[in-house]
Amino acid sequence: MITFDRVSMRYDEGHDALRDVSVTIDPDDLVFLTGHSGAGKSTLLRLIMLMERPTRGQVIVDGRNLQKVRRRGIPRHRRDIGVVFQNHRLLLDRTVFDNVALPLTISGYDHREVGRRVRAALDKVGLLDRERAMPEVLSGGEQQRVGIARAVVGRPRILLADEPTGNLDPALSAEIMQLFEEFNSVGVTVLIASHDLALISRLHHRIITLREGRIVGAGA
Partner 1 sequence: MSRSGRGASHSRTQLGDRYRAWVHHHRLSAADSLNRILERPFSSLLTWLVIGIALALPVGLSATLQSAQALSARWDGGVQISVFLKPEVSAESAQSLAEQFDGRGDVATVRFVSREEALAEFSLQSGLADVVLSLEENPLPNLVLVTPVAALDADAIAGLRADLAGREEVEEAVLDMQWVARLAQLMELGRRVVLVAGALLVAGVVLILGNTIRLAIESRREEIVIVKLVGGSNGFVRRPFLYTGLWYGVGGGLAAAILVSVALWFLSVPVDELARLYGSGFSLRGPGFIGALNVVLLGGALGLAGAWLAVSRHLSDIEPR
Interface residue list for partner 1 (CB under 8 A):
49, 51, 61-64, 75-80, 83, 85, 89-91, 93, 102-103, 105-111, 113, 150, 154-155, 157
Q: Got the DSSP string for 26-87?
A: -TT-EEEEE-STTSSHHHHHHHHTTSS--SEEEEEETTEEGGG--GGGHHHHHHTEEEE-TT
CB of 157 to partner 1, least distance (A): 7
CB of 180 to partner 1, least distance (A): 18
Are β-strands 206-211 and 214-217 bridged in parallel, bridged antiparallel, or unpaired? Answer: antiparallel
- Taking a C-beta distance cutoff of 8 angstroms, is the pair 190, 180 a contact? yes
Cβ nearer to partner 1, comparing 102 with 133? 102
Neighbours of 40 (CB within 10 A): 26
Cβ nearer to partner 1, comparing 85 with 180? 85
d(CA 55, CA 109): 36
Close Cβ partners of 220 (under 8 Å, ≥ 6 residues apart): 206
d(CA 207, CA 25): 11
CB of 181 to partner 1, least distance (A): 21
Cβ nearer to partner 1, comparing 10 with 214? 10
Cβ nearer to partner 1, comparing 147 with 213? 147
Cβ nearer to partner 1, comparing 8 with 107? 107
- Taking a C-beta distance cutoff of 8 angstroms, is the pair 16, 30 a contact? no
Mutual angle of helices 140-152 and 96-107, in 10-degree steps: 20
CB of 104 to partner 1, least distance (A): 9
Cβ nearer to partner 1, comparing 20 with 62? 62
CB of 110 to partner 1, least distance (A): 5
CB of 51 to partner 1, least distance (A): 5
d(CA 198, CA 204): 12
CB of 18 to partner 1, least distance (A): 17
